């Protein structure tokens, strides 16, 4: 017996265009205040998602969210609070000069030094994500761009960059400037011997790209350990990037995890 159901809501419906899937759009807001509150909840969710994936490495790692009413300010995680325990009330607002404007905790100096420069250089970037996750940091030791050997890797085809330098902990804004310059207009930058930064027009997009980059790095490392993977041809890789690498695809791709965390960990809104 076939089940009968009503029409699917437009926000979760997918359709096809000439370049592949057409993705639903992120929500729009009536005010900057409502946009900020929504974003802060999503930022707290993002840290819980990082924790779920084991991206918590001591005090390393940070995700930033540009304040919608004050573009030269961004929200970021507090120093020393485990990602799995971060709540909205723990988030810290810092300006591009490094002054803490709101919040009860200090922040990671590298979070300011790098994220402030990325946000200053890229007005289109709403969020940026970084962690010392196992596969991103391991692959970064090669000092090479990611080859298009899987669908996940194709999301970054000709849309990620390499910062071919390492100068220790990036606690100085000059290092942040170099990383931002290397990032250019891309969605991700591999920092040699350090790790990966991903950016997006939404928090969900930036975090989705980080999760996908981690998976792609893992796949490349495993494939190379097993043999000689076949690279996807340039035309197909470029088409696949259009299909799965757009800002809306990134935003949409994180929604199942966002909904899971919101349902299971509602205390994060406190």
Rounded to an integer, what distance in angstroms lies between the CA atom of residue 44 and that of residue 39? 9
Q: How far is CA 266 from CA 22, 85, 124, 269, in A?
A: 31, 12, 30, 6
Ordered domains of the chain (ranges, CATH): 27-260 (3.40.225.10)
Task: Provide the 3-class DSSP secondary structure of residue 190.
Answer: strand
Which strand (E) or helix (H) includes residue 15? strand 15-17
Length of the chain as a residue count: 270
Contact between 104 and 167 (Cβ < 8 Å): no
| Banded model confidence at residue 170, pLDDT cuts 50, 70, 90 | confident
Rounded to the nearest angstrom, the gap between the alpha carbon of residue 197 and the centroid of all alpha carbons in its chain is 7
For residues 63-70, give the mean pLDDT: 98
pTM (2 d.p.): 0.91
The overall average pLDDT reported for the chain is 92
Q: Which residues contact 232 (CB under 8 A, 6 or more apart)?
A: 148, 149, 154, 240
| Banded model confidence at residue 35, pLDDT cuts 50, 70, 90 | very high
Which residues does residue 94 pair with via DSSP β-bridges, in sequence order? 74, 100
- Structure token pair of residue 17: 């265009």
| Residue 8, pLDDT score | 40
Contact between 41 and 87 (Cβ < 8 Å): no
Which residues does residue 93 pair with via DSSP β-bridges, in sequence order? 75, 102
pLDDT in tens, 238-256: 999 999 999 999 999 999 9
Nearest CA to 83 out of 103, 62, 111 is that of 62
| Residue 13, pLDDT score | 53
- Structure token pair of residue 253: 């791709």
């Amino acid at each position: 017996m076939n089940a009968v159901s009503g029409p699917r809501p437009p926000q979760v419906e997918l359709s096809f265009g000439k370049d592949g899937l057409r993705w639903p759009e992120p929500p729009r807001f009536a005010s900057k205040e409502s946009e900020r509150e929504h974003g802060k909840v999503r930022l707290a969710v993002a840290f819980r998602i990082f924790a779920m994936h084991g991206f918590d490495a001591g005090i390393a790692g940070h995700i930033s969210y540009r304040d919608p009413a004050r573009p030269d300010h961004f929200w970021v995680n507090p120093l020393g609070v485990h990602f799995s325990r971060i709540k909205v009330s723990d988030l810290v607002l810092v300006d591009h000069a490094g002054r803490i404007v709101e919040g009860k905790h200090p922040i990671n100096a590298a979070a300011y030094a790098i994220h402030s420069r990325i946000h200053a250089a890229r007005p289109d970037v709403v969020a940026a994500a970084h962690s010392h996750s196992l596969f991103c940091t391991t692959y970064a030791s090669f000092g090479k761009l990611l080859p298009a050997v899987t669908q996940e890797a194709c999301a970054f085809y000709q849309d990620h960059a390499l910062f071919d330098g390492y100068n220790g902990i990036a606690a100085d804004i000059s290092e942040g400037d170099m990383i931002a310059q290397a990032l250019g207009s891309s969605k991700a930058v591999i920092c040699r011997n350090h790790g990966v930064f991903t950016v997006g027009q939404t928090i969900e997009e930036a975090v989705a790209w980080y999760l996908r980059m981690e998976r792609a790095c893992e796949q490349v490392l495993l494939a190379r350990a097993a043999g000689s993977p076949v690279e996807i041809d340039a035309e197909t890789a470029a088409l696949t990037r259009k299909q799965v690498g757009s800002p809306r695809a990134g935003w949409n791709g994180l929604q199942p995890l966002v909904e899971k965390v919101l349902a299971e960990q509602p205390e994060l809104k406190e």
